[in-house]
Amino acid sequence: MGAQWKARHKEVAANAKGKIFGKLAKEIMVAARGGADPAANSRLRLVVEQAKKASMPKDTLDRAIKKGAGLLDDGANLERLVYEGFAPHRVPVIVECLSDNVNRTKSSMNVLFRKGQLGAEGSVSWDFSYVGMIEATPNSKEADSEVAAIEAGAQDLEPSEEGATLFITEVTDLDAVCKALPAQGFTVISAQLGYRPKNPVTISNDTEREEVEAFLEAIDADDDVQNVYVGLAG
C-alpha cells in the first residue's frame, strides 16, 4: 500500500489486460516526445521494457511510439495532471492522470472524490517523497536484496508482492539502478518515478479499510487515471 496502490484482483478481470495496455500506451506516447529511439531515450526505454513484459503486441507498442514522437498524423496530445486529496478516513492520496480532455478529467475527479476530499496542489504531496521505484525479483535464493541495493546504488528497499523487492532510488538514479540490478541477481519487472508516503496511515477497522479500498478502486477504474499513490500502511 505504501508506494503505489494496485486494484485488488485487477489481473483476473476480463478487460484487465486491455486496460493495462491502454495505460502503458499513454506512458509510451508521453515518453516518446523525447525521441522515438529507446536507446537514446531512457524514459522511453523503461516504459517499453515494461510494455514488453506485459506482452503488449508489437504493433500497438510501435504505434504508440510513433504517435508520441509525432510521426503519425493523429499524434498524441496528452497532458499529465496530478490531483491531491484524501480518501475516506483522512488517508492521503495522489492521483496521476494522462488526459486529452482536461475538463472531462477534472469533472470526473470532482465526482470521484465526493466520498473523500479533493485538495489543492500541495495539500498532501508534502507528505510524500518523489522517487524512483523499481520492482524486481531475485533470480535465485542466493540473491540478497540488501546487498543488491547497496551495490546498485538504491537508497532504500521494501518487500513487494509475490517475493519481489521494491528498490527506492533518487529520481536521477532510476535508469542507472535498473541497469545495475541484473548483475546483482535481480530481474527488473517495472520501473517508474512516483510518490512514496512518508507517514502512512494505519487503519485496523475492517469496515473503514473496505471503504478506503472501494474509493481507490473507483478512482483506478477511471480511463484517464494512470497511477494512484496512497499513504496507507499494510
Class of domain 10-68: mainly alpha
Look at residue 165 and tell me whether its pLDDT is greater than 60: yes
Q: Does domain 128-197 have CATH number 3.30.70.980?
A: yes
Mean pLDDT of the chain: 89
Query: Which pTM was predicted?
Result: 0.84
Asked if the domains at 79-126+198-230 and 128-197 fall in one CATH topology, the answer is yes
**pLDDT value at residue 1:** 44
Determine the Cα–Cα distance for residues 222 and 200; give it in Å rounded to an integer: 24
Domain boundaries, the chain: 10-68, 79-126+198-230, 128-197
Residue pair 168/154 in contact (Cβ under 8 Å)? The answer is yes
Residue 82: which residues within 8 A CB-CB, separation 6 or more? 94, 95, 96, 97, 121, 125
Q: For a pLDDT cut of 90, what percent of the chain falls above it? A: 69
Residue pair 101/87 in contact (Cβ under 8 Å)? The answer is no
**pLDDT value at residue 227:** 93
**pLDDT value at residue 112:** 97
**pLDDT value at residue 15:** 55
Q: What does the pLDDT look like over 10-46, one tens digit per residue?
A: 444 445 677 888 889 999 999 998 899 998 988 898 8
Q: Does domain 79-126+198-230 have CATH number 3.30.70.270?
A: no
CB atoms within 10 A of CB 76: 20
